[in-house]
Amino acid sequence: MVNFIFGIHNHQPLGNFGWVFESAYDRSYRPFMETLEEYPNMKAAVHISGPLLEWLAENKPEHIELIRSLVKKGQLEIVVAGFYEPVLAAIPKDDRIEQITLLKDFAKKLGYDARGVWLTERVWQPELVKSLREAGIEYVIVDDYHFMSAGLSKEELYWPYYTEDGGEVIAVFPIDEKLRYLIPFRPVEKTVEYLHSIDNGDESRVAVFHDDGEKFGVWPGTYEWVYEKGWLREFFDRISSDERINLTLYSEYLARFKPRGLVYLPIASYFEMSEWSLPAKQAKLFVEFVEKLKGQGQFEKYRVFVRGGIWKNFFFKYPESNYMHKRMLMVSKLVRDNPEARRFILRAQCNDAYWHGVFGGVYLPHLRRAVWENIIRANGFASTGSFVRDIDFDGRDEVFIEDENFYAVFKPAYGGALFELSSKKKAVNYNDVLARRWEHYHEVPEAATPEEEDGDGVASIHEVGRKIPDEIRRELAYDDRMRAILQDHFLDPETALEEYRLNRHIELGDFVTGAYDYSLFEGGVTLERDGTVSGRPARVEKSFRLAEDGFIVDYTVGSEVKALFGVELNLAVHSVMEQPEEFEAEKFEVNDPYGIGKVGIELDKKAKVWKYPIKTLSQSEAGWDFVQQGVSYTLLFPVDGELRFRLRFREL
């Protein structure tokens, strides 16, 4: 007989649309639990994230009662994590304990004293042991890939082990990767056959499945397969009645057996994450390498040595994510002792907006907007004033300016541009704009996953190769810079909007990413650079100050070369789908009713304005997402000698 632990993880990101919660509830969460209730001999370990629990408690209280009932009957073991589903390795120790305690308290209200942790995205770091033990956790669930990365063979992965750090010890259960690809995508018989195949008479052997509950109805094709075609009922029936399978729970297993011994797991996540977290060029090579090994029939033999990146690489891969993360850490420290502010900063630690794999993640503006809203609201409890410091740990100082209404953060070393303009009143960051990047899957049709080809059942989203539609490919463009407010361009007077928006133009100057000198004054900063335009001397000086309703900046530009001088403002317009447009104006309005709201741009002289949407191509569970990350507004003035003008940005 072989022991089998069956678990699910249900989660919706902070800031996700209400209709997404509703659809996932109807297609997965509700029918799954209602079906489970019909099989009293079936039991499961379940983790439900805080954002989803809050939504259920408010909108579906009957579901909370069903969970409580299943716990009371002994059919459910509740496994916790950080309440707002942070990657625990990416937040301070005190925040980890606070997050876990919040969810443990919620579990107690459901009638369960939780002792186990579902590790968000299975991102493991050895020093987590101390935090978990301090939070009262006795076991944690990771992937078998973690153990293989430590040198264990597949045959050694049918038991939990102990791991230790600094004298603290915790039990770790390995999730069986093969089961992740069998359940629920292949016929039930294949799972039963696999479980039978690992029964060698050792009664302590255990196989663990613990994966996304959304695979049971939300992922493409799964609702029909799992419910309408009866996969789940057949699965529950077969698993709960098979005499060779002992259905158990983590706590029940640990009450009966001791973990097998001591292991030391390296920093790791699941195998797919090691592909996604690599920079795009290296990710492409990683996929090619895995496919080469598969083609040679060598992958299974050598896969324990095949490792890509780690989760924290996303902060290198996406500088916008890194900046958001470091602002979160900054504010977390500032509000450490403020209970009212704590809830906001804990929400801002929700993992989804900080990275990207097969789901939209960092590419979804509404998820980033939710994180920024909570950072800004938490920051409101701790005034800092103005200071100069390396906020995002890139080795270069930022200039942070605060008044009663705004936070403004400049990067003098990167074009002297404004990389955060956050409104306290609206709780939005006007520069929450992601640059257009080439991703490896724009060329690589399939991920480097270890699944086996099989025509039966329904395809996992990891197995689906996709071709970019021609209408999207025609509009694809990639940036060679980050997007900010007050980025300074020198362009050939013959440059057209079409060249500019597709990044096929030539920069005559070295100002967009060049370093600016700076000096602070009360409520503002002056930034200046002596650079070149077409190899000849040029100078830009911009004096910025916050105003009650926005900011005012005075520009002085000198160029010996006849050119167009452009000031670019990249604004986080997410809810109004814009088209490229060229017009002349001294003032104009931007209206994004479900995003940044309404703002006005005012000049003291008429300018040509180029407007275009910044659209990125990312993969998601549904296919391709061509997402508007913001809108670029570039104000253009002819310069031949000296140019002076004033720009005013106003909240309306």
* Confidence grade of residue 460 (pLDDT, cut at 50, 70, 90): low
Is residue 89 within 8 Å of residue 125, measured between CB atoms? yes
SS3 399: strand
Q: Taking residues 131-157, what's their average pLDDT?
A: 95
Q: Taking residues 378-394, what's their average pLDDT?
A: 96
Whether residue 31 is predicted with pLDDT greater than 80 in this model: the reply is yes
Residues with active-site annotation: 121, 212
Mention the CATH class of domain 2-269. Answer: alpha beta
Average pLDDT, the chain: 95
Q: Give the side-chain half-sphere CA count within 13 A for 81.
A: 31
Instruction: Tell me which CATH code domain 481-614+630-651 carries.
Output: 2.70.98.10
Q: Taking residues 549-565, what's their average pLDDT?
A: 97
Whether residue 449 is predicted with pLDDT greater than 80 in this model: the reply is no
Whether residue 455 is predicted with pLDDT greater than 70 in this model: the reply is no
From the CB of residue 13, how many other CB atoms can be counted at a distance below 10 Å? 24
Q: For residue 64, what are the contacts with CB-CB under 8 A and spacing of at least 6?
A: 53, 56, 57, 110
Going by the DSSP 8-state scheme, the letter that residue 80 receives in this structure is: B
Cis ω on the peptide bond leading into residue 31 (within 30° of 0)? Answer: no
Whether residue 6 is predicted with pLDDT greater than 90 in this model: the reply is yes
CA distance 50 to 54: 6
Whether residue 329 is predicted with pLDDT greater than 90 in this model: the reply is yes
Whether residue 448 is predicted with pLDDT greater than 70 in this model: the reply is no
231-241 and 188-197 helices cross at what angle (nearest 10)?
A: 30
Entry pTM: 0.95
Whether residue 284 is predicted with pLDDT greater than 80 in this model: the reply is yes
Q: Taking residues 517-535, what's their average pLDDT?
A: 97
CA distance 603 to 634: 12
CA distance 624 to 40: 41
SS3 378: helix
CA distance 131 to 122: 15
Write the pLDDT tens digit of every residue in 82-103: 999 999 999 999 999 999 999 9
Whether residue 462 is predicted with pLDDT greater than 80 in this model: the reply is no
Whether residue 591 is predicted with pLDDT greater than 80 in this model: the reply is yes
Q: Taking residues 493-497, what's their average pLDDT?
A: 97
Q: Where are the domains of the chain?
A: 2-269, 310-382, 481-614+630-651
Residue-level pLDDT at 445: 63
Whether residue 622 is predicted with pLDDT greater than 80 in this model: the reply is no
Q: Taking residues 292-307, what's their average pLDDT?
A: 91
What is the sign, positive or negative, of the torsion defined by CA atoms of 144, 149, 150, 156?
Answer: positive
Residue-level pLDDT at 623: 82
DSSP string, 270-282: -HHHHHHTS-HHH
Write the pLDDT tens digit of every residue in 108-118: 999 999 999 99
Residue-level pLDDT at 110: 96
Whether residue 156 is predicted with pLDDT greater than 70 in this model: the reply is yes
